[in-house]
Copies of this chain bind each other. A is one copy, B any other.
Amino acid sequence: MTSDASPGPLTGRLGYLLKHAHLRYAEASTRALAPLGVDGRELAVLAVLAADVPLSQQEAAARLTVDRTTMVALVDGLEAKGLAERRRSDTDRRKNLVVLTAPGRRLLRAAEAVRTEAERDFLAPLGAADATALLRALRALTAESAPDPGADPGTGPGGGF
């Protein structure tokens, strides 16, 4: 049931704070996007696919920092909803170029507006200055030198908190 009692000595931990901030925001944005029939994950894929030049599945996967096998299911879902289409590349027939359909482009615009508002609402407890400072700090932390390729802590990091 995961009842929220007092978080106790955990609110001082960076891991706990990042995890739960992400969980909170994911819930809020998922709820906001639900009427449009997509979640934040699918919206991110649509945004990447909206690039000026058509992307192959692997190129899209790389931009999303997602495995190519994961990409298969994502494109399957978007195609089933009529939001995107696979097109065999003429120059390299191994590749699927994934392009948005007209409904896909329309939905992308509408969903981005909803997402932007969800972000604003979520950050509302902070002042405008603190909100932009938060985004800047997170960008600095994630933009740092790529995570040591020789680490490989198994599947999903059990770092939890």
Chain A residues within CB distance 8 Å of chain B: 1-27, 29-31, 34, 39-41, 43-44, 47-48, 51, 59, 62-68, 115, 119, 122-123, 125-126, 130-131, 133-144, 146-147, 151, 153, 157-161
Cα–Cα distance between A140 and B31 once the two chains are bound (Å): 21
Nearest B residue to A158 via CB reads: B39
Asked if A15 and B39 make an inter-chain contact with CB atoms under 8 angstroms apart, the answer reads no
Nearest B residue to A137 via CB reads: B134
From residue A131, how far is it (CB to closest CB) to chain B in Å? 8
- A8-B51, A10-B44, A130-B133 as given contacts; A141 in contact with B161, CB under 8 Å: no
Asked if A15 and B24 make an inter-chain contact with CB atoms under 8 angstroms apart, the answer reads no
From residue A142, how far is it (CB to closest CB) to chain B in Å? 5
Asked if A24 and B62 make an inter-chain contact with CB atoms under 8 angstroms apart, the answer reads no
Cα–Cα distance between A110 and B156 once the two chains are bound (Å): 25
Cα–Cα distance between A22 and B161 once the two chains are bound (Å): 9
Cα–Cα distance between A10 and B45 once the two chains are bound (Å): 10
Cα–Cα distance between A43 and B9 once the two chains are bound (Å): 12
Contacts of A26 in B (CB 8 A): 15, 157-160
Cα–Cα distance between A44 and B147 once the two chains are bound (Å): 24
